């Protein structure tokens, strides 16, 4: 679809079809379309982004439309629902349930799952909606002591880009130590690249009993190796100190670039990486399989009532080259100056 200066905003519906035992409950989503890119984002299901891509082209995000009922009530004990798409967590993961008294059993067990349901599943309030932006705000969470405000907006003079801004506010009467954690899911067979300076800037974790995540470090980039059609179950995560503030994924004839402020290693909690790539391969189950392209902002100590902010910029470009590492990196080098991509 040709670019247009006329922005439109309409109410769209993304189906969140239940399992056979449940009733259908579509997720209402706001459509932002500037003629170059199309975005679907919602107040429901944790104020998440459900779709992003070139206008008229495929969604580059991985979304599970059968995950659950976005209208169902949410409380502290609500289990995680894998709607996927893009959502925001707060880190570090090890303190998700240790610094709360709503569910004492989870605190005693030092539980590290699930993420805060008030931030990831509960409905957000619509604060602002214009043809070029959407602003939503979460409930104040008694689990993490945080309230999130999210802004999704087109970027002036960058018709293929979307700015994502998050403000996290401490709603407790005591200090909290948190970071802002962007989590973007793409399809399991997306080619993902992160620039690195040295092999020591990457560490891996995989659970026992399954094949570990497989990856390649070459030419200054780490990339996730894609599974063969008959591959076994594969799960694992890479924790990465990137050499530059960006990463990229290729799928559906589109290049998806996520940019963020590069942080020194010491600004990130030692259990995390500024970039994390989680690969979940479930043979014969394309809905469950995915890659998570995750970014951590710096760890901060927030006094009562104080806030911190973090941002990402997403860009999507048409890509008609071959699905090879060499061609993908050549494409990124071709667009590096225009997009401001370093380490190329």
What pLDDT score was predicted for residue 54? 99
**Cβ(333)–Cβ(70) under 8 Å?**
no
**For residue range 208-235, what is the model confidence (pLDDT) as tens digits?**
999 999 999 999 999 999 988 777 889 9
Question: For residue 182, which of 195, 196, 165, 202 has the smallest C-alpha distance?
Answer: 165
pLDDT in tens, 163-201: 999 999 999 999 999 999 999 999 999 999 999 999 999
Average pLDDT over residues 281-310: 93
Task: For residue 24, name the pLDDT band (cuts at 50, 70, 90).
Answer: very low
Position 155 pLDDT exceeds 90: yes
Cβ 233 vs Cβ 283: under 8 Å? yes
Q: What is the pLDDT of residue 1?
A: 41
Quickly tell me which residue has 């996290």 as its tokens.
168
pTM: predicted TM-score of the whole model, two decimal places? 0.92
Write down all domains in the chain, each with its CATH number in brackets: 8-188+246-267+280-319 (2.70.98.10)
Is the predicted pLDDT of residue 13 greater than 60, yes or no? no
User: HEC states along the chain?
Assistant: CCCCCCCEEEEEEECCCCCCCCCCCCEEEEEEECCCEEEEECCHHHHCEEEEEECCCCCCECECCCCCCCCCCCCCCCCCCCCECEEEEEECHHHCCCCCCCCHHHHHHCCCCCCCHHHHCCCCEEEEEECCEEEEECCCCCCCCEEEEEEEEEECCEEEEEEEEEEEEECCCCCEEEEEEEEEEECCCCEEEEECCCHHHEEEECCCCCEECCEEEECCEEEECCCCCCCCCEEEEEEECCCCCEEEEEECCEEEEEECCCCCHHHCCCCCCCEEEEEEECCCCCCCCEEEEEEECCCEEECCCCEEEEEEEEEEEECCCCCCHHHHHHHHHHHHHHHCCCCC
Res 15: pLDDT: 35
Q: Output the pLDDT for position 3.
A: 38
């Amino acid at each position: 679809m040709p670019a247009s200066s006329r922005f439109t905003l309409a109410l769209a519906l993304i189906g969140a079809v239940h399992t056979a035992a449940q009733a259908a409950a579509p997720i209402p989503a706001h459509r932002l379309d500037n003629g170059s890119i199309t975005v679907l984002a919602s107040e429901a299901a944790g104020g998440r982004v459900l779709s992003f891509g070139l206008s008229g082209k495929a969604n580059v995000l991985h979304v599970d439309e059968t995950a659950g009922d976005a209208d169902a009530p949410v409380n502290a004990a609500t289990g995680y629902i894998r709607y996927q798409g893009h959502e925001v967590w707060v880190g570090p993961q090890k303190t998700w349930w240790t610094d709360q008294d709503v569910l004492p059993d989870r605190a005693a067990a030092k539980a590290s799952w699930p993420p805060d349901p008030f931030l990831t599943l509960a409905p957000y309030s619509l604060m602002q909606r214009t043809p070029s932006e959407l602003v939503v705000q979460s409930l104040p969470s008694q689990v993490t002591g945080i309230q999130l405000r999210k802004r999704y907006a087109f970027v002036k003079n960058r018709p293929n880009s979307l700015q994502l801004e998050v403000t996290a506010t401490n709603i407790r009467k005591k200090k909290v130590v948190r970071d802002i954690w962007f989590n973007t899911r793409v399809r399991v067979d997306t080619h993902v690249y992160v620039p690195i300076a040295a092999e020591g800037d990457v560490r891996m974790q995989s659970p026992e009993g399954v094949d570990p995540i497989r990856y390649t470090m070459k030419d200054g980039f780490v990339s996730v190796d894609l599974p063969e059609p008959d591959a076994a179950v594969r799960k694992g995560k890479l924790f990465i100190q990137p050499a530059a503030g960006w990463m990229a994924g290729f799928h559906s004839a589109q290049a998806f670039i996520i940019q963020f402020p590069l942080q020194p290693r010491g600004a990130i909690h030692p259990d995390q990486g500024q970039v994390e790539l989680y690969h979940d391969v479930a043979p014969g189950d394309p809905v469950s399989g995915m890659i998570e392209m995750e970014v951590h902002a710096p760890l901060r100590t927030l006094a009562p009532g104080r806030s911190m902010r973090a941002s990402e910029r997403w860009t999507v470009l048409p890509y008609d080259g071959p699905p090879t590492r060499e061609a993908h990196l050549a494409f990124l080098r071709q667009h590096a100056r225009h997009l401001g991509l370093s380490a190329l």
